[in-house]
Amino acid sequence: MAFRFIHTADLHLDAPLKAIALRDPDLAQQVGVASRTAFSRIVDLCIEEAVAFLLISGDLWDGAYSSTKTPRFMKQELQRLQGAGIRCFIIRGNHDALARQTGELELPDNTFLFGGRASTETLERDGHLIAIHGLSFRDPHAPESLLPRYPAPRPGAFNIGMMHTSLNGSPGHDNYAPCSVAELEAHGYDYWALGHIHRRAEYVGRATIVMPGIPQGRDIGEAGPASVTLVTVADDNTVTLEQRPVACLRFDRLDLDCTGVADWAELLTALERAIRHAGQGVRSADHLVIRPVLRGAMPLVWRMARDLDRLTEEARIMAAAAGVWIDKLELRVTGDVTATADSHLPADLVRTVLEDLPQDPALVTALQVAAQELLRDLPPDLRDILGQDEAALAQRCRDLLAQGAPRILAGLTPDTAA
């Protein structure tokens, strides 16, 4: 008979959600424990689907972030699994290495936490011998591949490897236990239960390799569906994968083509229609935070940049009626800003802002210095946001200057420019 299990990772329990929309106290109260809600839903799903076990491939915790109640909550959820006869296997990830909760939690009998030396746990389910191999780290940094430390596959068993790894690297994630898909396949396991990268990925070949992604997104950078993976293994060891959503809060970008829109009322109508359509896909128990991204060439570009605060407030009113929340509006529209501004502002000022400022070496240097100071204050997993080397940072700063100059111009009126 077939057996099934659920694979998840990167729960980051109690990690703060980061969205402008969460300044609203009503939404903040409803989703303040979103990561815990996601884990409770994972346990519900395990019980409903009568799986054999649950795999958590690292970053159960989120460093120093945690309520004192969370270890107790975690143990209660694991005990729910135990009451249903479901095993749980956990490896520590890089964030777990920083978490004090890692050493505080006394695990129930159904749960096994792999240690700092690779080991193997075996179990039988409906005539299947299953070998689960795992390795945890206390150090948050693992610059070398962990794969050579994993045991050889057990003959006659369905072999599962649990690893927290960045694979060949991913933007926004620290390099952690790097290895390639080909190397994982060559190791001889049937399934690799990975963690660390927050975007879902599947590789199906000689082995099935899954990065399940984060089950509860924390900001617009983790937009889109968040899920866990339900795995079914047939008698011939054929693997079937299903995505199952568990998040109570979803972030999404909402693309809106504004090409040719020349009238403010027409723009508001199009925006309202798009927001209302987005709200129709939300489950009644869930919350959706959207970031409308307005794109296209249009004559309203100057006014949109000038009155972005007004446009954002209009969008928030529309969102409230649609049962969704607005993160912020993002303008990717283009138009002849110079021609529009020429009718309002002195020509020399327009030329200075649009042409001279983006090319000013002193301004570019000052912006690079400010950007470097900002990056030093960011968490490690966000420090590549402006590029991965000095040349990329410099180019990004020049691009930002060029993009920002028209917005500076749009914010000026004849009174402020005088």
Q: What is the pLDDT of residues 43-79, one digit of tens each?
A: 999 999 999 999 999 988 876 655 667 888 999 999 9
Q: Average pLDDT, stretch 194-221?
A: 93
Question: In angstroms, how far is CA 359 from the centroid of its own chain?
Answer: 35
- Pick the most confident of 29-38, 219-228, 282-291, 404-413: 219-228
Q: Where are the beta strands (DSSP E) in 22-157?
A: 53-57, 87-91, 111-113, 119-125, 128-134
Instruction: Measure the CA dihedral 165/14/5/224, to 10°.
Output: -80
Classify 133 as helix, strand or coil. Answer: strand
The pLDDT assigned to 67 comes to 64
pLDDT of 20 strictly over 80? no
Q: Average pLDDT, stretch 105-115?
A: 90
Q: Average pLDDT, stretch 233-242?
A: 95
Classify 125 as helix, strand or coil. Answer: strand
Record the pTM.
0.77
Least confident range of 117-126, 211-220, 272-281, 296-305: 296-305
Question: In angstroms, how far is CA 247 from the centroid of its own chain?
Answer: 12
Domains of the chain: 3-247 (3.60.21.10), 249-335 (3.50.80), 344-418 (no CATH)
Which helix (H) or strand (E) segment is 319 a member of?
Answer: helix 308-322
Write the CB contacts of 354 (distance below 8 Å, at least 6 apart in sequence). Answer: 337, 338, 405, 406, 409
Distance CA 272, CA 267 (A): 9
The pLDDT assigned to 21 comes to 62
Distance CA 349, CA 355 (A): 10
Q: Where are the beta strands (DSSP E) in 220-370?
A: 227-233, 239-245, 249-257, 287-297, 325-326, 330-334
- Residue 380, number of CB atoms within 10 A of its CB: 11
Distance CA 226, CA 205 (A): 24
The alpha carbon dihedral of 162, 168, 171, 176 has a sign of positive
pLDDT of 416 strictly over 50? no
pLDDT of 353 strictly over 60? yes
Q: How confident is the model at residue 255 (pLDDT cuts 50, 70, 90)?
A: very high
The pLDDT assigned to 236 comes to 92
The pLDDT assigned to 352 comes to 77
Distance CA 380, CA 173 (A): 8
Classify 168 as helix, strand or coil. Answer: coil
- For residue 169 the two structure tokens come to 């690297």
Amino acid identity for residue 2 in this structure:
A
Distance CA 104, CA 75 (A): 11
Closest by CA to 324, choosing from 271, 257, 265, 250, is 250
The per-residue pLDDT for range 361-405, each reduced to its tens digit, is: 888 888 888 888 888 887 776 677 787 778 888 888 888 877 777
Classify 163 as helix, strand or coil. Answer: strand
Burial class (CB in 10 A: 0-12, 13-18, 19+), 36: buried
Distance CA 303, CA 299 (A): 9
The pLDDT assigned to 141 comes to 66
Classify 365 as helix, strand or coil. Answer: helix
Cα Rg of the chain (Å, integer): 25
Strands 208-211 and 201-204: antiparallel
Q: How confident is the model at residue 98 (pLDDT cuts 50, 70, 90)?
A: very low
Classify 300 as helix, strand or coil. Answer: coil
The per-residue pLDDT for range 130-185, each reduced to its tens digit, is: 999 999 977 666 678 889 999 999 999 999 999 999 887 555 445 677 899 999 99
- Pick the most confident of 209-213, 403-407, 410-414: 209-213
The pLDDT assigned to 76 comes to 95
Contact between 35 and 235 under an 8 Å Cβ cutoff? The reply is no
The pLDDT assigned to 41 comes to 96
